[in-house]
Structures are given as C-alpha cells and as structure tokens.
Amino acid sequence: MLSVVIPALNSAATVSGTLSSIFSNEISGETFEVLLVDNGSYDSTVDIAREFPVKIYHCPRKGIGPPRNLGIQKAKGDIICFTDSDCIVEKNWLSKISSFFNQHSETDGIGGPVFPYSYGQNKIQELTGRIFVEDQRYPGSIKRVQLGSPQGRIFGSNSAYKRSVLVKSGGFVEPEGSNLELSLRLAANGKNLFFDPNIRVYHIFPSTLKTIIKQQFRWGMQSTQMKRIHHLDKGVREIVYISYFPLRCLFPLFSPRDSEKKLLHFTQITSYSLGRIFGLRL
C-alpha cells in the first residue's frame, strides 16, 4: 500500500488541484491512502480537503518537518510518498513510484523532477519556473543520488521512501524538515536513493515577488542548516562562496536581452544567499 503525505498551510487556492490530481491517478483507490496534515491554516484549506476522501490531521508544531513526521507516524503504507499542497502530480505518478520499488527491490527512496505548472500562471510565475528548471539541470536518465553531486537531488514535493527507512532514520529534521537534508543523510548512511526523470510533479510557483523572496530566503537558511548538520559549513570561506553567486548574476544585468528574467534571477539568488548567511548566525 502507498501512503501520500501532504503538509498544508493556508493552501485554499491550490489544494483542490493537488488532491484532484492525486485522485485522478490511474491506480486503484484501494491501493493508496492520502493524508493531509494541516499546520495551522486559517483559511478554507481543511474545508476544501474534506471534499475528498482524505485523512486529515492537525499539527500545531510549526515548520514543514513536524507535519511530515506526523504523516509518517499516521501512515499505514509500506511506501510513503510526499508532495506539497501547491503541486500537481501526473496521472501515472503513483503507478510509476510503485513500479520502481517493485522492479528495484534494493531501492530505499525515489524522487523525480519538479516542473513549473504552466496553466493560468502570471509572468512572475512563468519566469520563476523557467529559472528553477534551468538551475536544476535534471539528468535525462535514472541516476543514483550521490554525495557531493548537485544533479539528481530529491525534492520533498516529489519523493517516496520505504516507511521502515524513514522510521529508522528518525524522519525529517524539525522544524524546517528539508528533504535535501534527509536524502543527504540517507545517502551518507549507504541507502539506495534514485532520481527517475519519468516520475514528474508540477509546482505552482509563488505569484508575487514578495513571496518569492521569502521562499528563496527560507531555502537558503535550510541549505545552511543542512551543511551545518553534516559538518560542511566552512565559516568565513562559506560566506565568500555564498557571495560569489549574486555577483555572478549581477554582470549579465547590463545586457538588455531577457532583462526581466535576469533581474528576477538576480533577486532570487540574492535572497537565497542572504538566507544562507543568516543561517550561519543561528
């Protein structure tokens, strides 16, 4: 049995699309369950979720780590899948995950690419999605997750693990619950994690510059915390390394070609880098 865990916080605008895509999957409804773990929404997220055959839990501890871990505790499936409440999964998402584990018994975890959702998006969302995919450089074939390699990383919005592996590892670090940290920890412990480019999820990116800046800042903090946990933090040298990326994006701004995209990319990288530096202080 598969369990799908979805952490949610004030996702009224997107959660219906997420749940509709999951329940439209080409797989028997008896072979999977869906758990939505609300993290304190004050909009209609929970009311909308009740329109679907989902199990709803409430997690008062803030951050994405606690609701993911609560989902692990409550899940009944041998394989636990994760996506987010602002994502759309493909119709064969669950069947491809199930098939991969069945065909590769040594697999402990699997993930795939996250692409921008292309319908009804504004200019900021469209450009953000393009930048995100270009930065990831997804491999074109199945790739084992390796320490030190940025290619084939596993995202929390498109991942699945054996329940036994998650329980034994202690699950996600709280409160941030970075899936990149989890996959790095599991790979360091010799677990077999794979990236499959055919297992796809589509993300609805933030629609305003303010929310993008906040998202990038949060991701930057998570990255620094992940490095600290795994003793990869290099102190002052790390600050110099972090500062290099905004500077690298600054010079192309003087070229008028594709200026909107370049300016947005510079803003994202700067916000991410500030999050990295701020994380060094925590």
The CATH number of whichever domain residue 125 belongs to comes to 3.90.550.10
Distance (Å) of CA 5 to CA 88, 114, 127, 159: 14, 17, 29, 10
Residues 115 and 98 in one domain: yes
Residues 139 and 180 in one domain: yes
Sheet with 87-89: strands ordered across: 87-89, 201-203, 114-116
Going by pLDDT thresholds of 50, 70 and 90, the confidence category of residue 167 is very high
The whole-angstrom separation of Cα 181 and Cα 171 is 10
How many domains would you assign to the chain?
2
Residue 63's domain comprises: 2-203
Average pLDDT over every residue of 132-142: 91
Residues 77 and 169 in one domain: yes
Give residue 138's Cα distance to chain centre.
Answer: 14
Domain boundary among 145, 171, 203: 203
pLDDT per residue as tens digits for the range 181-191: 898 889 889 99
Residues 119 and 219 in one domain: no
| pLDDT for residue 240 | 47
**pTM (predicted TM-score):** 0.86
53 pLDDT higher than 80: yes
pLDDT per residue as tens digits for the range 73-119: 999 999 999 999 999 999 999 999 999 999 999 999 999 999 999 88
Domain boundary among 188, 203, 218: 203
| pLDDT for residue 252 | 54
Please say whether the beta carbons of 277 and 239 come within 8 A.
yes
Q: What is the 3-state secondary structure (H, E, C) of the chain?
A: CEEEEEEECCCCCCHHHHHHHHHCCCCCHHHEEEEEEECCCCCCHHHHHCCCCCEEEECCCCCCHHHHHHHHHHCCCCEEEECCCCEEECCCHHHHHHHHHHHCCCCCEEECCEEECCCCCCHHHHHHHHHHHHHHCCCCCCEECCCCCCCCCCECCEEEEEHHHHHHHCCCCCCCCCHHHHHHHHHHCCCCEEECCCCCEEECCCCCHHHHHHHHHHHHHHHHHHHHHCCCCCCHHHHHHHHHHHHHHHHHHHCCCCHHHHHHHHHHHHHHHHHHHHHHCC
Residues 89 and 226 in one domain: no
| pLDDT for residue 52 | 98
| pLDDT for residue 120 | 84
Residues 10 and 104 in one domain: yes
- 8-17, 127-136, 144-153, 265-274: lowest mean pLDDT where? 144-153
The whole-angstrom separation of Cα 77 and Cα 50 is 21
Average pLDDT over every residue of 194-216: 92
Residues 45 and 183 in one domain: yes
- 22-36, 94-108, 109-123, 249-263: lowest mean pLDDT where? 249-263
The whole-angstrom separation of Cα 191 and Cα 183 is 9
pLDDT mean across residues, the chain: 87
Q: 245 or 52, which is more confident? A: 52
Going by pLDDT thresholds of 50, 70 and 90, the confidence category of residue 179 is confident
Please say whether the beta carbons of 26 and 91 come within 8 A.
yes
Residues 26 and 93 in one domain: yes
151 pLDDT higher than 70: yes
135 pLDDT higher than 80: yes
| pLDDT for residue 17 | 97
| pLDDT for residue 178 | 79
